[in-house]
Amino acid sequence: MQQASKAPPRSSLLDFVTNNQVVLGYLFILPSLIGFILFYAYPAIRAVGISFLEWNLLSDPEFVGLANYEEIFADERFWRSLRITLWYVAWNIPLQTALAIFFAVMLDKFSTALSTIMRSVMILPWLMPNVIVALLWLWILDPSIGIANVLLNTVGIPQQDFLGNPDQAIGWIAAINIWRHAGYNAILVYAGLKTIPKSLYSAADIDGANGWTKFWRITLPLLRPVLVFVLVTSVIGSFQVFDTIAVTTDGGPAGATRVIMFYIIDQVFNRRISMGTATAASVVLFTILISVTIIQMRFLQADQSDLADYS
């Protein structure tokens, strides 16, 4: 008797479950969907609803339509906080991403032992809680007793105000965050680098390509999904910077570091829990973030992956 060459026959229910994309799809996403709805969607929708109310969560709410939005749009401080935030993102993201790619490529070049050491060193900043990092740098960058100025002085550079200079403060906040996150993003990019087959590079070598060409033509394009991820998450995170500023400059000097999160939190904790305006500003921020993300993903064609199509 001839044996069936394939797997033994299965019950049709099991077969249905294990081979039906729709069933599997929903089954697989079910736990995350529950989490998403309970802890993300529900609060977010509620927040939008609250943005049309005047409410301090303690007494009865009052429907005020678009009044909250009018109020924040008329507030010069709201626009200023958006400008400062944009400035911060502009300083933070390009530099951080470039550094991350640089680090990841370097990690790839070195031998395993050196690479492991370097990887451990690079991630160290990210291992510290955000607040501690901020406090640490507050000290190092202190104009009068911080070690940074001492070191600069030894090479002849005059005393810098760093975080005390209203024009530079937000830039230094960006620097602190780059210090903390560049290594982390580098690890992510490195994971992506590792999925690029070495055979591609060998083929390029045979064709006589140099390092730079290999980087631009092979590495970067094939890193696309990971880079998209890094960029999108970094941008979103940057827009929400708060802890670092709260601990170092507390919005100063002269309000030079009052980013949008400051404005929102201010509404809650310093304006008698004005949830209406706080959520209205959050909704505006949310809208900005969605727009930025859509643009980013379209521009970088995030859904495609050159690697998967490569045969």
Partner 1 sequence: MNRKFFNLSIVLALLLTVVGVASAQDVTVRYALWDTNQLPAYEECATAFEAANPGIDIAIEQLGWDDYWTAITTGFVTGDTPDVFTNHLAKYPEFVALEQLVDIEPMVERDGVDTEIYLEGLAPLWTRDGARYGLPKDWDTVAVVYNAAMLEAAGVDPAELDELTWNPEDGGTFQEMVARLTLDANGNNGLSDEFDSENVVQFGFLYPGSGGFAGQTEWSAFAATTGWHHTGGEVWGEQYFYDDERFINSIDWYFGLNLDYGYAPTLAEVQGLGQLAMFQAQQGALAIDGSWMIGSYLGSDFEVGFARLPIGPEGRKSMFNGLADSIWVGTDHVEESWEWVKFLGSAECQLIVGNTGVVFPATPEGVEASLQVRADAGIDVSAFTEQALEENGTFLFPITDFGGEIATIMTETMDSIALGEAEAADALPAANAEINELFE
Partner 2 sequence: MTSPTQTQSTKQDTNVNSSFRRFFSRLTWGDAVVFVILIMLLVSILFPFWWVLRTALTSPNKVFTDTSSLLPVEATIFNFERVLGLVDPSEIVGTESTNISAGTINFWIFMRNSFIFSLLITVGQTVFSTMAAYAFARFKFPFRDQIFFAYLTGLMVPGIVLFIPNFVTIRELGLIGTMAGLVAPFFLMTPFAVFFMRQFFLNLNRDIEEAATLDGATKFGIFWRISLPLIQGPILTLAILTFIQSWNEYLWPLLVGRDESIRVLTVALAIFRQQTPQGAPDWAGLMAGTTVAIIPTVAIFIFFGRKVVDSIQFSGFK
Contact set for partner 1, span 156-175 (CB under 8 A): 161-166
Determine if 306 is a binding residue for partner 1 (CB under 8 A).
no
Q: How far is the CB of 175 from partner 2 (least distance, A)?
A: 10
Grouping H, G, I as helix, E, B as strand and the rest as coil, residue 143 is coil
Among 196, 241, 245, 259, binds partner 2 (CB under 8 A): 196
Site string for partner 1, 212-251 (x = CB under 8 A): -----------------------------------x-x-x
Tracing tokens 């070495």 back to the chain, one arrives at: 198
For the purposes of burial, counting CB atoms within 10 Å of the CB of 201, is it exposed (0-12), middle (13-18) or buried (19 or more)? middle
Tell the smallest beta-carbon distance from residue 87 to partner 2 (Å): 19
Q: Which does 152 bind (CB under 5 to 8 A by kind): partner 2, partner 1, none?
A: none
The tokens 């880079």 sit on which residue? 227
Residues in Cβ contact with 123 at an 8 Å cutoff, skipping those fewer than 6 apart: 183, 184, 187
Q: Can residue 254 be called a binding residue for partner 1 (CB under 8 A)?
A: yes
Is residue 8 reached through a cis peptide bond, with omega within 30 degrees of 0 on the bond before it? no
Letters for 155-184 (x = contact with partner 2 by CB under 8 A, - = none) are: ------------------------x---xx
Collapsing DSSP states into helix, strand and coil, what is residue 8? coil
Q: Name which of partner 1, partner 2, none residue 132 binds, using a CB cut-off of 5 to 8 Å depending on partner kind.
A: partner 2
Which residues face 54 on adjacent strands? 62
- DSSP character at residue 163: G
Residues between 230 and 269 with contacts to partner 2, criterion CB under 8 A: 232-233, 236, 240, 261, 264-265, 268
Say which residue the tokens 């060409």 belong to: 213
Task: Specify the stretch interacting with partner 2 by CB under 8 A; choose among 72-80, 84-92, 136-144, 165-173.
Answer: 136-144
* Residue closer to partner 1 (CB basis): 219 or 257: 257
**Structural element, H or E, at residue 191:** helix 169-193
Let me know the angle formed at the C-alpha of 265 by 172 and 267, rounded to the nearest 5 degrees. 130
Q: Residue 276 touches which of partner 1, partner 2, none (CB < 5 to 8 A by kind)?
A: none
Residue 29 contact, options partner 1, partner 2, none, Cβ 5-8 Å cut-off depending on partner type: partner 2
Three-class SS state of 257? coil
Q: How far is CA 103 from the centre of its chain?
A: 18
Name the site residues for partner 1 (rule: CB under 8 A).
Answer: 56-59, 77, 138-139, 141-146, 161-166, 247, 249, 251-255, 266, 268-273
